[in-house]
Amino acid sequence: MKRRRFLQFSLAAAALAMEARATDADRPRKGFKISSGTDRHAEELLIMGGRFDCKVSGKDTNGDLCIYDTIRETKGGPALHRHHYQDEWFYVIRGEFIVKVGDDTLELHPGDSAFGPRRIPHAFAKVSEGDGQLLILFQPAGSMEEFFHQMSKHGSGIPGKQEVVLKKLWEQHGMEVLGPPLQI
């Protein structure tokens, strides 16, 4: 390696290490517990036919991720969409769901999970009777928490024609609505 390249590489590596240390300094130094049925911030977000409880906030992780526990009462789910900046992971605790990721439609039962990479169209829907419970993780957190707060202002049900009515809200939070919700 030429001396000039070696020096450039060394400076870049040192800068990245300094940035990682600064990021770690901003992270919490203590763990925390969020009890079952409660939200990290003691809020109640009733959205899209269910309750969304934030379990790990983007504020807890310096924006690295956020996790929601959602109890779904109503069949159905969000419009087909894509996140430009977040990966999304789904884990079923109870009930049955379908998740569409790209061209694949996946049937999920308790204990199953599915991964939706950023920029790939996806949607999910609860398809079983009774309550369903789903953990949803966003990485990085982006503005997903603010998005859910804004969504809660539209009521607790699944809005009709959400792919039209909520399109601008989704765009403001780095997502793009691509079509209607999954048909169940």
Q: Is 4 within a domain?
A: no
CA angle 118, 122, 126 (to 5 degrees): 135
CA distance 124 to 134: 10
Question: Do 174 and 143 form a contact (C-beta atoms < 8 A)?
Answer: yes
Q: Is 3 within a domain?
A: no
Strands 132-139 and 104-108: unpaired
CATH code where residue 84 lies: 2.60.120.10
Q: Is 13 within a domain?
A: no
CA distance 141 to 56: 10
Q: What pLDDT was estimated at residue 4?
A: 56
Q: What pLDDT was estimated at residue 30?
A: 86
For the sheet with 175-181, list strands across it: 104-108, 97-101, 122-126, 79-83, 175-181
Q: 153, 148, 155, 139: which is closest to 170 by C-alpha?
A: 148
CA distance 184 to 126: 9
Q: Is 141 within a domain?
A: yes
Residue with tokens 């989704």: 170
Q: Is 25 within a domain?
A: no
* pLDDT digits (tens), the chain, 184 positions: 565 554 454 444 444 444 544 466 777 788 999 999 999 998 889 988 889 999 999 999 999 999 999 999 999 999 899 999 999 999 999 999 999 999 999 999 999 999 999 999 999 999 999 999 999 999 999 999 999 998 888 887 776 777 777 888 888 999 999 999 998 8
CA distance 172 to 166: 10
Q: Is 53 within a domain?
A: yes
Q: Is 73 within a domain?
A: yes
Q: Is 22 within a domain?
A: no
- 86-116 per-residue burial string, b: 16 or more CB within 10 A, e: under 16: bbbbbbbeebbbbbbbeeeebebeeeeebeb
Please list the residues that pair with 82 across neighbouring strands: 176
Number of domains in the chain: 1
Structural Rg of the chain based on CA atoms = 19
